[in-house]
Structure 1
């Protein structure tokens, strides 16, 4: 497994990118967000970000990529479990997030979008 970690300042941008229909996206798990549509997801992130406006880059975006050989074992539930364990080990807890799987590359991968402002500000 390889991880790419990015910080940003635009929740709408990361939500639009991850939930792009052209990537065959499937949301595998989430917490603390209104998941009605892309706008409500970005709005949920932005509301929590306002608790602590001192952070210049509140957007967390991590891509976890796996070997193509592992694809038969990597059903959505397994990938969600790996991503949740990764978040826990990285200290990303008690915050809003969603994890989505993409099918636009040969190798299996998931995107984790999370708020760097936790539920307590």
Structure 2
């Protein structure tokens, strides 16, 4: 089961989407609301939200998606229980909420809209709400005996075991040539029909790598832990320089584009350095 969440400003518009009859929407949860239209529900939210005018994104939007197989067996009562348990995990059980089920596709899923402002006028802390939503969904799935994301991922990776091993062999073969840059590594992998795709966020920060081979796209770390971004950068750094790196590089050149490291990736590299895992590394980058 997957959980997603974020704070939004357009309460009425979002609830209207949840109530979309074209998606065979049905209300499965009402918590401290009684309206019969999106406008009425939004107005009820607004009454509470008026206590805290500093908060602009004052509604929380969640999507909770059981697997296709789990979803087939859930009636509206089951889905109400699922929604309530999810909100309790998020510590939002005492906030106004309305939840809908969409059955327009094979993948039955819930849309839950919750007032971010509590009855005391305080705004719910939405820090890392996406990650927390996923953890909440995992906990509820475990409690209800549903398939969890990790189980789905593990099953998928097991099915692709042979292909993962093949990509790992190609990776090892390329590293034996001692590529002196990420671009050198990427180009050599490409000669074996493995496309290395850097994951770069909107802030122009490198977060890691994905590998595409024979129509399958996986995170490098899903293929093998030794292929994670911090490990790959470390190995190439050793090929580039014999000086010891005292901190994670600030800038890298990837596909002829200068990028920075994400804080998470930089932190992992720094931890490796502290542990003494890196013996030979680069200066401020592996820029070519």
Task: Tell me the TM-score normalized by structure 2.
Answer: 0.41
In structure 2, what is the Cα distance between the partners aligned to 1:36 and 1:72? 28
Distance 1:86 1:31 in 2: 13
Partner Cα distance (1:19, 1:113) in 2: 11
In 1, Cα distance between equivalents of 2:60 and 2:28:
17
Q: Is the 8 A contact 1:8 1:57 kept in 2?
A: yes
Q: In the alignment, is residue 3 of structure 1 matched against residue 28 of structure 2?
A: no
| CA distance in structure 2 between the partners assigned to 1:25 and 1:96 by the alignment | 19
Secondary structure in 2 matching 1:48? helix
Query: Deviation digits for residues 1-58 of structure 1, max 9, x if unmatched?
Result: 1011121011111111111111111001202223222211111111111111111211
Shift of 1:71: 2.8
CA RMSD in angstroms, aligned pairs only: 1.2
In the alignment, which residue of structure 1 is the partner of 2:118? 118
**TM-score computed with the length of structure 1 as normaliser:** 0.93
Structure number with greater Rg is: 2
What does residue 108 of structure 2 align with? 108
CA drift of 1:72 comes to: 3.5
C-alpha separation between the residues in 1 aligned to 2:42 and 2:108?
Answer: 25
Secondary structure in structure 2 of the residue aligned to 1:51? coil
Judging by fraction of residues, say which structure has more helix.
2
Q: Which moved more, 1:29-38 or 1:89-98?
A: 29-38
| Runs of 4+ in structure 1 over 4 Å off | none
Q: Is the 8 A contact 2:72 2:108 kept in 1?
A: no
Partner of 1:16: 16
The number of residues matched between the two structures is 121
For the 8 Å contact 2:71–2:109, the answer to whether it is kept is no
Do the aligned partners of 2:29 and 2:83 also contact (CA within 8 Å) in 1? no
- Equivalent in the alignment of 2:29: 29
Which structure 1 segments of 5+ residues have no match? none
Where structure 2 has 5 or more consecutive residues not aligned to the other structure, the ranges are: 122-288
Where in structure 2 are the equivalents of 1:29-68 lying within 5 Å?
Answer: 29-68=29-68
The structure with more strand, counted as a fraction of residues: 1
Mapping 1:86-101, distance limit 5 Å: 86-101=86-101
